[in-house]
Amino acid sequence: MGPDILRENFPLLIPILALMIPIVAIVAHYVSRSNRERERHETIRILAKAGQPIPPELISGASEVDSDFHTENRRRSNPNRSLTPGVVNLSVGLGLMGMFALMKPDSWLWGIGLIPFCLGVGFLLLWSFERKQAPQA
């Protein structure tokens, strides 16, 4: 009875495990952030108990602010950030449309490729607009 139940339900386990992977990643991220905050607060408590001055960066959480600042600078400095995902999505969309059109010529399945294709077109349009608005150096 035990092995039969597992054999019958095994196809259900694969998508369930696949959906659990991002959930575990998100939980791990928040646990890591919580541990970092706990350590920062513990450091502040130790410094306060010892009578030492507490650096303002430690109170304001400057490490997160600095990382946001660098991320924003990286975004602004790279005018081609939308080009790569645009080309990739466009290519994947064309590939899917071609594959499904060859698999079942009289079917609607080729339309599945329109989703990444349209995303790619959107990214390329965004890249085009960003390139026109970027200050010329």
Among all chains, which residue has been given the structure tokens 């541990």?
Answer: 35
Instruction: Supply the pLDDT for residue 65.
Output: 46
Instruction: Supply the pLDDT for residue 73.
Output: 58
11-42 burial: b if 16+ Cβ within 10 Å, else e: eeeeeeeeeeeeeeeeeeeeeeeeeeeeeeee
User: Which tokens belong to 65?
Assistant: 């602010």
Instruction: Supply the pLDDT for residue 71.
Output: 57
Mean pLDDT by groups of 10 residues along the chain of 137 residues: 75 84 93 92 91 85 55 63 90 93 90 93 90 71
What is the pTM for the complete model shown?
A: 0.46
Yes or no: say if 88 and 120 are a contact pair by the CB < 8 Å rule: yes
Give the sign of the dihedral formed by CA 130, CA 131, CA 136, CA 137: positive
Domain ranges of the chain: 1-76, 78-137
Instruction: Supply the pLDDT for residue 75.
Output: 55
CA-nearest of 113, 74, 112, 108 to 90 is 113
As a whole number of angstroms, the distance between CA 45 and CA 129 comes to 50
Instruction: Supply the pLDDT for residue 62.
Output: 55
Instruction: Supply the pLDDT for residue 68.
Output: 53
How crowded is residue 93: how many other Cβ atoms within 10 Å of its Cβ? 20
